[in-house]
Structure 1
Amino acid sequence: MAEPFQFQSSDVTIEKRETVFQGFFRMDKLWLVHPRFDGRNMPQFTRELFLRGDATCVLPYDPDRDEVVLLEQFRLGAIGRDQSPWLLELVAGMNENGESSEDVAQREGQEEAGLSFSKLEKICDYLVSPGGTTEMVYLYCGKVSTESAGGLYGLEDEHEDIRAHVVSADEAIAMISDGRINNAAAIIAIQWLQLNRTRLRAGWQ
């Protein structure tokens, strides 16, 4: 049985590339070929690629009070679904040139929730939707105090309108189970918290 990852980026030939849209985001069209698992070459085909940039997301967690902070805001991509387009999400922001993921986490914690993280623990890095976009998310859990957390935040000049909610860890886990939280970063982070909660409550205090 063959092992995975026999091919690398160098095995892909991009024969042509052009930018088909440039706005807040960018879309490129690529003509490419690559080898197949059966030893033949894939005939040339085209794909559109959404160049979004990378992001950092953080689940704020208070191990003393066993509470998390979740942000409620409008998301255009959820319109037309059988749900509200106001989603419960993590602290999140786009990575700018020269910034580390930890820098982004602290900046966005302040801007979106008025929070400073005394500790940041890496959860994972994951590709959001690699069939069509370049975006990688760097995911963390951040230690905070939720004693005075909550309220309205966001930068008006970036059209942000954010309400920070403080909820128990049990309630956040329940919202994953019943579908009230259905975005990937929040699901991954809260399920990670469910697995690591006992350790964080003992080791982060």
Structure 2
Amino acid sequence: MKPTVIKLERTHERWATMSIATIRMPDGKILLRDVEDHGCAAAVLPYDPLRKTALLVAQLRAAELVAVGATESLEAIAGLVEGEDDAAATAKREALEEGGLRLGALEHVATAWSMPGVSTARLTVYLAEYRAKYRVGDGGGVAHEDEEVRVVELGLKELAALMTADGVVDMKTLVLVQALQLRRPELFD
């Protein structure tokens, strides 16, 4: 016998859905667990190997503001997988909307649970080469999404230093920068 969800009670629904899962364990014990669901997401770290730069976005994240007073979070470009899109299509769409970048090939890094203790979300992360000529717009997000997104281009060496000094604390960005360091260490000289 395996653990079984015997009841899923929806307690809140807006951008995210919160539920209480009632779970029966193999020994018959009943557990209650909170579950957050807002769908799966994709993220991409565009980098220019010639100029040794990366393109990121900075924006307000309410949870960081509440927790530590942070007014801006520097992150890899990301968004929720919507409709018929797959993760790769989402990463490319978000790169265009948020970063003003038209990306070609994506290099898959990983697909992982974001916070398996509480969330159903899985995040697929990619690296993608870009050149200055791929900038086809200003970026900054889509106005109807109520986002205040600022595009930030940083040198990879500077980005790695920020990460080491705890200046970049977003997990998807940390994973992507570390993946790029492992795959292309020469870009961080």
3-state DSSP class of the match of 1:103? helix
Q: Which runs of 5+ in 1 are unaligned?
A: 1-9, 36-40
Which structure has the larger Rg? 1
Find 1:28's aligned residue among 19, 25, 46: 19
Within a 5 Å distance, the mapping from 1:89-108 to structure 2 comes to 89-108=75-94
Distance 1:68 1:13, change over 3 A: same
3-state DSSP class of the match of 2:184? helix
Q: For residues 147 and 84 of structure 1, what CA distance do their matches in structure 2 show?
A: 33
Sequence identity of aligned pairs in percent? 26
CA contact (8 A) 1:12 1:34 kept: yes
3-state DSSP class of the match of 1:79? helix
Deviation at 1:152, TM superposition (A): 5.3
3-state DSSP class of the match of 2:132? coil
Higher mean C-alpha deviation, range 156-165 or range 140-149: 140-149
Number of equivalenced pairs:
187
CA RMSD of aligned residues (A): 2.1
**Structure-2-length-normalised TM-score:** 0.91
Within a 5 Å distance, the mapping from 1:147-162 to structure 2 comes to 151=138, 153-162=140-149
Q: Which runs of 5+ in 2 are unaligned?
A: none
Find 1:125's aligned residue among 111, 115, 124: 111
Find 2:55's aligned residue among 69, 72, 95: 69
3-state DSSP class of the match of 1:102? helix
Q: For residues 148 and 68 of structure 1, what CA distance do their matches in structure 2 show?
A: 13
Deviation at 1:190, TM superposition (A): 0.4
Partner of residue 158, structure 2:
171
Partner of residue 57, structure 1:
43
Q: For residues 151 and 108 of structure 1, what CA distance do their matches in structure 2 show?
A: 13
Deviation at 1:85, TM superposition (A): 2.7
CA contact (8 A) 2:100 2:139 kept: no
Higher mean C-alpha deviation, range 102-111 or range 139-148: 139-148
3-state DSSP class of the match of 2:34? strand
**Structure-1-length-normalised TM-score:** 0.84
CA contact (8 A) 2:44 2:127 kept: yes
Which 4+ residue blocks in structure 1 deviate beyond 6 angstroms?
A: none
Q: For residues 88 and 130 of structure 1, what CA distance do their matches in structure 2 show?
A: 23
Deviation at 1:167, TM superposition (A): 0.8
1:60-93 deviation line (CA, Å, top 9, x unaligned):
1111111101111110010134452301001111
Distance 1:42 1:186, change over 3 A: farther
Distance 1:83 1:178, change over 3 A: farther
Q: For residues 156 and 186 of structure 2, what CA distance do their matches in structure 1 show?
A: 14
